[in-house]
Structure 1
Amino acid sequence: MILVYKNANIFYTDQGKGSVVVLIHGFLENSTMWDKIVPELTKRNRIITIDLLGHGKSDCLGYVHSMELFSETIEAVLKHLKIRKFILVGHSLGGYISLVISKMNPSKIKGLCLLNSTSEKDSEERIKIRTRANKMVQNNFEIMVRMSISNLFNQENLLKFKEEIEVVKKEAMQTSLQGYVAANEGMKNRLNTNAVLAENNFKKLIIVGEKDLVLDLETSKVEAKKTNTELIIFPDGHLSHIENTPELIITLKKFIKACIS
């Protein structure tokens, strides 16, 4: 389905009945990343997925997609669907956005799960990487996208998930060049949101990969401890929805149940 927001088409899906769970994908992904997760969660819940600005079937809105702007579009969809309270599950970039939504509307949040994500802001090194990537992608979009995807997996899994990796790369190519750059600009400018986890009483969960090349495991451990957030560690990389699908489904079902009990 499509919602027009500020003259931009925003694609979303709405499936199932029950407690509302909003699934927010990450950078270079779209709502199809949840295809193996949604059928399991819709057995008892109403699941909303949304293509972020510049990703999948959604349009861009300018040349910097801040976390706040991403959040506005998601809230517009939820308002259109007359949804008042919900659980958020955000993967990577989706987690950054989920934190902003929770910061602005804590009374609406039943639970927040950061999947391969963090409330920490970008390090100086990561900011430099994003700046460099935005320059390189202008002339080498496909190469940059394909390289980015391969680096998200536990390197020991590259052969095991060869077919899945090709699918992820194909979906990533649906991201527009403008969407790639705008999201990177937004991510490198985002603020630290530790306080969202530390100061709210809704259910909170961080899921990380032990061999994630994007997020540092020790940093996630410290983050979870200082914000009083439950931490679950899977054995692989940054794409837990592919590398650890059964474990993730079980974990999300348990988390959702805890949020509504």
Structure 2
Amino acid sequence: MPIVTLANSLQAACADEGAGTPVLLLHGYCGSRHYWDDVLPLLNAKFRIIAPDCRGHGETQATNGAYPMEQLAEDAVQLLDELGIPKAYVLGHSMGGYTALALAEKYPDRVLGLGLLHSTTFPDDENGKAGRDAAARRIALEGIKGHIDDLVPKLFAPEHRTSMRSKLSRATVIGYGTSPLGAIGGALGMKERPDRRSILEQFHKPVLLLAGEEDGVIAPEKRFPASGPNVTQVLLSGSGHMGMMEAPEAFANAIASFIETSEGRRNDV
């Protein structure tokens, strides 16, 4: 697991496994690269998987202030630069999807294909923004533990909160590893993200939209914000917001199929 010093001096941790077509996996809020532990063995035999800890999460350095999605996107591009990767498939879970959209907006030539995994193009509504502020205040006062204890169960499908207790525990431990600065920065950065539906409307490269049937975080009307010949929509039956843990085989198969199909079309051109 390398620690890479980015051009902006951030010390970033990442997994770099496998060979072939590069795939950048961006984890969600209060997660880390370990969110992908169940799917990495299913993907790294086919692709080169780059899975960083984002700023303030996991083992990547935390900084003060809000983390705009544009800043997280810059971190990701600088990581690709340090690893000598000119282009990659950029797939993001939840907050990682918001980051992927910001990256595709500013650096479309770096993106072979775009994936929103349990994510959306829509911004927070006013209630959502108030919730981000409340989370930031609570973490500043109490630390990370209570926030994670309340957050993680909501990420899993109701049935899985009891049937997948070990996975909830693993997600909770990962969450505890988030710096309070990182959790605050991520919450405030997500609060300010803009509506990016136009990015998908103008993006003519392959797009994967993967959603969980029982996702309590992303509302059904926001799960598939685009359609068209370049868009692949996948609904994971029975899954909540954590398909990489709740349904890892189906999750990995959806990603692999999307990339292999996309690469086949590119090679036919």
What TM-score, normalized to structure 2?
0.93
Post-superposition CA distance 1:165-214 (Å, at most 9, x none): 11110111110111100110100001111111111111001111122111
For structure 1, list consecutive stretches of 5 or more residues without a partner in the other structure: none
1:209 alignment partner in structure 2:
212
2:4 alignment partner in structure 1:
3
Match of 2:246 among 239, 243, 261: 243
1:155 alignment partner in structure 2:
158
Q: Determine helix, strand or coil for the equivalent of 2:140.
A: coil
Letter in 2 for 1:119: T
The aligned runs of 1:46-65 (5 Å cut-off) are 46-65=48-67
Match of 2:107 among 87, 90, 105: 105
User: % of aligned pairs identical?
Assistant: 26
Letter in 2 for 1:4: T
Alignment size in residue pairs:
260
State which drifts further: 191-200 or 2-11: 2-11
Aligned partners of 1:198 and 1:226 also within 8 Å? no
Aligned partners of 1:21 and 1:89 also within 8 Å? yes
State which drifts further: 132-141 or 249-258: 132-141
- Structure 2: how far apart are the matches of 1:260 and 1:54? 33
1:184 alignment partner in structure 2:
187
Match of 2:76 among 67, 74, 77: 74
Moved over 4 A (4+): none
Q: Determine helix, strand or coil for the equivalent of 1:151.
A: helix
Structure-2 change in CA distance of 1:8 and 1:107 (3 Å) = closer
The aligned runs of 1:80-95 (5 Å cut-off) are 80-95=82-97
The aligned runs of 1:157-176 (5 Å cut-off) are 157-176=160-179
Aligned partners of 1:60 and 1:179 also within 8 Å? yes
2:27 alignment partner in structure 1:
25
What TM-score, normalized to structure 1?
0.95
1:38 Cα offset (Å): 1.3
- Structure 2: how far apart are the matches of 1:92 and 1:67? 12
Aligned partners of 2:112 and 2:205 also within 8 Å? yes
1:227 Cα offset (Å): 10
- Structure 2: how far apart are the matches of 1:228 and 1:260? 13
Letter in 1 for 2:72: F
Q: Determine helix, strand or coil for the equivalent of 2:124.
A: coil
Aligned partners of 1:86 and 1:111 also within 8 Å? yes
Match of 1:218 among 214, 218, 221: 221
